[in-house]
Each structure stands twice: as structure tokens, then as C-alpha cells.
Amino acid sequence: DGGTAGGSLDDAEKASEALLKTGGNGDDWAGIGYSYDEQRFSPLTDINDKNVGELGIAWFADLEDARGQEATPVVVDGVMYVSHAWSKVDAWDAATGEPLWSFDPKVSGEHAVKGCCDVVNRGVAVWGDKLFVGAFDGRLIALDKKTGKEIWSTQTVDASKPYTITGAPRVVKDMVLIGNGGAEFGVRGYVTAYDADTGKERWRFYTAPNPTKAKDGAASDDIFASKGNATWSDKGEWKVSGGGGTVWDAIVYDKDLDQIYLGVGNGNPWNHGTRSNGEGDNWFLSSVVALDATTGKYKWHYQETPAETWDYTATQPIILAEQQVDGKPAKVLYHAPKNGFFFTIDRTNGKLIDAKPFVDGINWATGYDMATGRPIENPEARFYRTGKPFIAIPGAMGAHNWHPMSYNPATGLVYIPAQQVPQGYLEDMNELDRRQLLGFNTGSSMTGGVLPDDKAAFKAAIAATTGRLVAFDPRTGKVAWGVDYPAAWNGGTMTTAGNLVFQGTSTGRFRAYAADTGKQLLDLDMQSGIIDAPSTFRVGGVQYVAFMTSKGGVFPLAAGIAGGVTRKIPNIPRLVVLKIGGAVKLPALPATTALAWNPPPQFGTPAQVAAGKAHFARYCLVCHGDSAIGNGFTPDLRVSGALANPDAWKSVIIDGALKDRGMVGFAKVMTPADAEAIRAYVIDRSSWTKANLAETGRPYGR
């Protein structure tokens, strides 16, 4: 209809809206979360708890980039649309696997350094004749659904700042909604609604205040002027950093109440003492915020972690459901954010109905005060007040990260891909922790989180990192059943009326469990780790299950060896589609090349190695792994040929010789002497690894 600003829907758009409102009969998987409620529940029963063991591969397609694959496949009218690493999109015939088109937004390799957590994308939105994808460099792009050709593109961020997009757009009425990421580096979060036909801005809601506390001409102005600004100190680094609060994943439309929920991220810097002078709750960090769908104006919010200081994002997927509360049916939302508590919130007014732990061992708070809705904190957890380091459970990886959870109305259970990844926090800032354009600005020393050299402590730290599929019952606030995994960072879940829960694991298995009891019913070897959530659909009377394999996202990227047993699992970027009786075999694994372990001679004083460690933690760790330990998809620096060659080393680290591959030069923030210090540190780690190979194991060869 060519651009009716704020206009009506054409017939194809009306069909998309109707499908998203109900989810349909299960033939389509119309949005990443299935329908507007984002329950990730399919009514299909062709595959069920009797026959799921007969699932095999119907078809598969190898993908280009060996980075994290986080999207849920979307299927409409027998066509599958999948976004993958670097914001690329492909369409296939969903039943046969015939490729239909490919779209590459051509994100510059140099943009990778602006991302905290890998060059991932969590999915597309299909709407009428179009399809929308957010590109890693901040563009929101509309494509022709049939051809994959670009219709319009709009830059949604200030490209001079470290903003990125990894989340999926959502379409509500005639608007496309998109947020952004960047709170580890220092940006101000917001969500914008664009006209679906033209890409013109309709409204914007900021999730952190204007640093001058002035109005922006945005939908968020009134709530900040009346209440929000007062929750931020007049002192503190947020004035320079923008405060964070990015909306990088959950944006959910409530069709019953005609409102939108935003899952808001952590502050910048993380350290509340540095960020806001230790004062104020800092709206809307770590909150669920409800907005009017048409105007973007504030309706209510619930702050899960007031004055957050541990990177406890509330961006995690949000599920809309109905539940009996005090004997009456209530419209609720379910949320399991990083902080380890499961929240049931009344959608009509934002009131807390319940908050209970979904993992063991949480030590930053003992629970929630139901009268105030606030956490009962452990005072030791506020490391910036005590001046003492605190090892928090959960840590910044979260008790649950972005991996989608699902809800089954038949069992009443929510299936959460949960994990245990403790982390140390220190106030202790040094000269290197000062604000920079490149590198994390967390307001506490990143070196504090690095794995210890002591062998016993090192092994214990890795053993403490585990995963668990948690079937949580919001009606009782208790875990109904759980499945323990040897490693963290397992895939998202999907559930069906066939009494099934599906999940891939970081150790390369694709599993199905009985939704009511947790009994394991399927266990397929998928060769590679799995992080995304599956979807299911039906074409020609046959039900299929689709997902991607890959290793990636922030945990393997930044944690390296802390991934424990997953280090022995290859990284294969691949789309896999299953059906009952599917008989396609995966190709044999490529031969692995053993890594030659020849660290060059050590050099440098202990002070130089320590300085190298601090630089590494600040600038390199997030992509090359804790302790320079590699992760199987970005280069393992400990076996780099450049280690023995100071000139080659400098040409990469300072001059940016490999910038097109995502390794920019760091001349803006480092001197050649700093780069040499990092070389001394990495050689030290290489020698340490060689001496301790039995403990560390080898990363999967590339």
C-alpha cells in the first residue's frame, strides 16, 4: 500500500496479525516466540511422547559463519526464514530444504568490536509481504518476503557510539519495534517504533534518563520528569556513559491489554557506586516496563533489581499467560531474568504476584519482600560499599541468559534453560578501568573475574559451572522437575501439546523430555553445541522440528575454558530440520588439526605480565576467552604464530591488520608498549597451559 503513515493494514498484514494473535493451528510458527504471547508452545500432536524417539533428520543446511546462531526459525506458509550470524537472513522451502534466497546486510567486520557478546541475531519478524531484521550495526531493514530484496532501511542508532542490534524486531499494528545493545561499553538504552511501510519513526521510549535530565521530545519524557530522573544521582558516571538500560532482547505485545512490555538491561557502568554515586534505584534498569502500544507512553514498571550492580539484566524473554490467582483467573507475565528469581507479575498493573528462586545457591538476596516488592539483599553483595570482593551467584552470565524459555498451558510449567556460573566482583579499579570508547566499562576491575592460576582453585571454578533444565511451576513457586547438565549455556526450549519439551545442549545433544514428568524420550548426537530454541511446524500433513547448531554467544566467547567439557565439542554452524522417520545423515566431522604447543620463550617482568593481564581482561577477554584460553571459534592466541614476532603482533593489535575479520586496531586506547605487555601475558598463559595440559584439556582444533 506504499506508505500510509500511521495507516491501516492491507490484507496480507491483517492475515499476519490474525496469525500472531492466535498462533493458528500449528502449521505456522509465525513469530520467534510462536504468537504474540511468546509462550513457545505448539498445539501440534503429530510428534508426541509416544513416537518422538523416531525423530531423524529430514534435511539440513550448513551456514557460512562459525559464530553463534541464536535465532528461532520462523515458518509461514511453508517457507522458513532464519537470521544467522552477522545479521544475514536466508529463506528455504521448509519441507524440502530447497534454498529460496539469501540476504547479507554486509555489516563491516570492524563493527564486531562494538559488541559485548558475539555477532549474533535472534530472529526475524514476518509481516504481510515483508520481513524485518535488525542488523548488528544498528540498521533496521525491511525485506520483500518473496525475494529477499531490501525495501527500506533505517539507521536506528548514533553510529559513532558502541550500539549494536542482536534482538529480533516485533511488529505491532502497523509499527516495527526495535531496541539495541551496548550497555557494557556505555550507551543510553531505548526502543523505537517505526512505520512498517516506510521506516519513519513513530515514537521512542528511553529506558534511562537524559544525562542533563532535560526532555528529549520522546514518549518517555513525562515519566522521567515526574519520577524517573529523581532515581538517578546528580553525580556519577552515568552522565557520561548514558547509564545503560539497553533493550536487547524481550519486547512483547499484549493483545488483551493493548500494551507492550520491554525487558530492560543492566546499568553502565555495572558498579552502582561509580554509576550513580551509590544513590537511587536508577529507573528503568533491570525492569519490566509496560507501554501503551499506540503512543509508547509509560503505563507501569516493575524493577526486579533496584540499583543493579552485577549486570543483572531483565532483558530475558517474557511470556504472557493466564493463571489462577486467589481463586480467580488473572492475566500474568512470567519472567526469569539473570538474577535467579522467577517473577509472576500482574499484567494489568505491574504488581508482583510471586518471586521465587529457580536455581540453588543464590547469594545476593535471600528472597523478595512481598509488601514492598523489593529484594531482601545480602549487604556483602554490594562490593562497592564494603570495599571487599564478592563472589556472586548468579554472576554476570546469569542464572538464565537470553536462551528462550517456554510455557505449556497443559502442564502449567515453564521450562527454563538455567545455569550456575558464579563470578567475582571487585570495586578495585585501576588506571586501565577508566572510561574508553573501546573495551568494557563496567566500573570494576575485569581482572577480578579471571580464572585463578592455582590448579585446585582453577578446577573447582570450572566444576562450579553447570547447567540445568528447570521445569518451574509458577502456581507453587517451586521446581517441579529438573535435568542437570555438566556444562552451562544450553539451548532454549520449546514445548508442545504432544506432552513434549525440546532442548539442545552445549555438549552437542538434541533432546526431548516428557513435559509432565521430565522423562528423557530423545537424545540425538548433533556433533556441535546448540544454543538457540527450536520451533515446530507442519507442511503437507507432516510435523517438523527446526533448530540451529553452533557454539557462540557471550559465554564461550568470553569464558573460554570455563565452558568445561564443552571445549571438546566442535563448532558447526548448521540449520537442522527433523521429522518422524527422517533418515538423512550428517557428514563426518572434519579432521581436527592438533594444535602445536610451542610457546616462545617467556619474557617480561612480573609487573609487565600483570599489566598485560589487566589490558587483556579489559580489551581482549570478551572475544578471546578468559585467561587467553581460546574458545574454538575466535583464534586461540596461545598458539598464534605472531606470539614469537613482535612486529606481526603490533601490526594486528595496534595497526589493525586483521580489521576486516573483526579484529580492529586498538591504537586509540593502547600504546605499542601495552601490546607488548599483552604479548608477555599471553606467552605466560601459553607456557602455563603447556605445563598443565592435563587440567585444561585442549580446545577443539580448528
Size of the site for Ca ion (CB under 5 A): 2
22 close to 39: Cβ distance less than 8 angstroms: no
Residue 69 binding ligand PQQ, by CB under 6 A:
no
Other CB atoms within 10 Å distance of the CB of residue 302: 22
Name, in order, each residue with C-beta under 8 angstroms of 524's C-beta and a sequence gap of 6 or more: 55, 56, 509, 510, 511, 578
Residue 441 binding Ca ion, by CB under 5 A:
no
> Would you call 65 exposed, middle or buried from its count of C-beta atoms within 10 A (0-12, 13-18, 19+)?
middle
Q: Which residues 325-364 are close enough to bind ligand PQQ by CB under 6 A?
A: none
Quick one: which H or E segment has residue 684?
helix 672-691
Distance CA 645, CA 361 (A): 46
Q: Mark residue 7 as left, alpha or beta (left: phi above 0; alpha: psi -120 to 50; beta: remaining).
A: beta
Other CB atoms within 10 Å distance of the CB of residue 206: 23
In the complex, the smallest distance separating the C-beta of residue 118 from ligand PQQ, rounded to whole angstroms, is 6
Q: Which stretch binds Ca ion (CB under 5 A): 259-267, 447-455, 466-474, 690-698?
A: 259-267
If the CB atoms of residues 559 and 670 are measured against ligand PQQ, the closer one turns out to be 559
Other CB atoms within 10 Å distance of the CB of residue 477: 16
With CB under 6 A as the contact rule, the residue among 311, 427, 532, 636 that binds ligand PQQ is 311
Alpha helices (H) along 255-350: 272-275
Residue 284: cis peptide before it, omega within 30 degrees of 0: yes
Residue 266 binding Ca ion, by CB under 5 A:
yes
Size of the site for ligand PQQ (CB under 6 A): 21
The one-character DSSP state at 634 is S
In the complex, the smallest distance separating the C-beta of residue 502 from ligand PQQ, rounded to whole angstroms, is 20
The one-character DSSP state at 595 is P
Q: Which residues 130-189 are close enough to bind Ca ion by CB under 5 A?
A: 183
With CB under 6 A as the contact rule, the residue among 13, 28, 38, 70 that binds ligand PQQ is 70
131-to-28, 262, 546, 615, 663 alpha-carbon distances in Å: 15, 21, 19, 42, 31
With CB under 6 A as the contact rule, the residue among 553, 612, 665, 699 that binds ligand PQQ is 553
If the CB atoms of residues 116 and 548 are measured against ligand PQQ, the closer one turns out to be 116
The one-character DSSP state at 385 is H
In the complex, the smallest distance separating the C-beta of residue 460 from ligand PQQ, rounded to whole angstroms, is 23
If the CB atoms of residues 401 and 571 are measured against ligand PQQ, the closer one turns out to be 401
Distance CA 46, CA 536 (A): 11
Q: Mark residue 339 as left, alpha or beta (left: phi above 0; alpha: psi -120 to 50; beta: remaining).
A: alpha
If the CB atoms of residues 183 and 208 are measured against ligand PQQ, the closer one turns out to be 183
Q: What angle in degrees, to the nearest 10, is found between the helix axes of 606-615 and 672-691?
A: 100
311 belongs to the catalytic site: yes
Per the DSSP assignment, residues forming a β-bridge with 372 are: none
**Which cell numbers hold the place of 668?**
586509540
Q: Which does 401 bind (CB under 5 to 8 A by kind): Ca ion, ligand PQQ, none?
A: ligand PQQ
If the CB atoms of residues 562 and 654 are measured against ligand PQQ, the closer one turns out to be 562
Per the DSSP assignment, residues forming a β-bridge with 577 are: 59, 546
With CB under 6 A as the contact rule, the residue among 31, 134, 181, 474 that binds ligand PQQ is 181
- Which positions from 261 to 300 touch ligand PQQ by CB under 6 A, shown as an x/- string? ----xx----------------------------------
With CB under 6 A as the contact rule, the residue among 69, 166, 499, 634 that binds ligand PQQ is 166
Residue 401 binding ligand PQQ, by CB under 6 A:
yes
Residue 178 binding ligand PQQ, by CB under 6 A:
no
Catalytic residue among 221, 311, 354, 532: 311
With CB under 6 A as the contact rule, the residue among 60, 205, 310, 402 that binds ligand PQQ is 402
Place of cell 493458528: 24
In the complex, the smallest distance separating the C-beta of residue 248 from ligand PQQ, rounded to whole angstroms, is 4
Residue 207 binding ligand PQQ, by CB under 6 A:
no
Q: Which does 554 bind (CB under 5 to 8 A by kind): ligand PQQ, Ca ion, none?
A: ligand PQQ
Distance CA 88, CA 105 (A): 6
Site residues, ligand PQQ (CB under 6 A): 70, 116-118, 120, 164, 166, 181-184, 246, 248, 265-266, 311, 313, 401-402, 553-554
Which residues are the active-site residues?
A: 311
Site residues, Ca ion (CB under 5 A): 183, 266
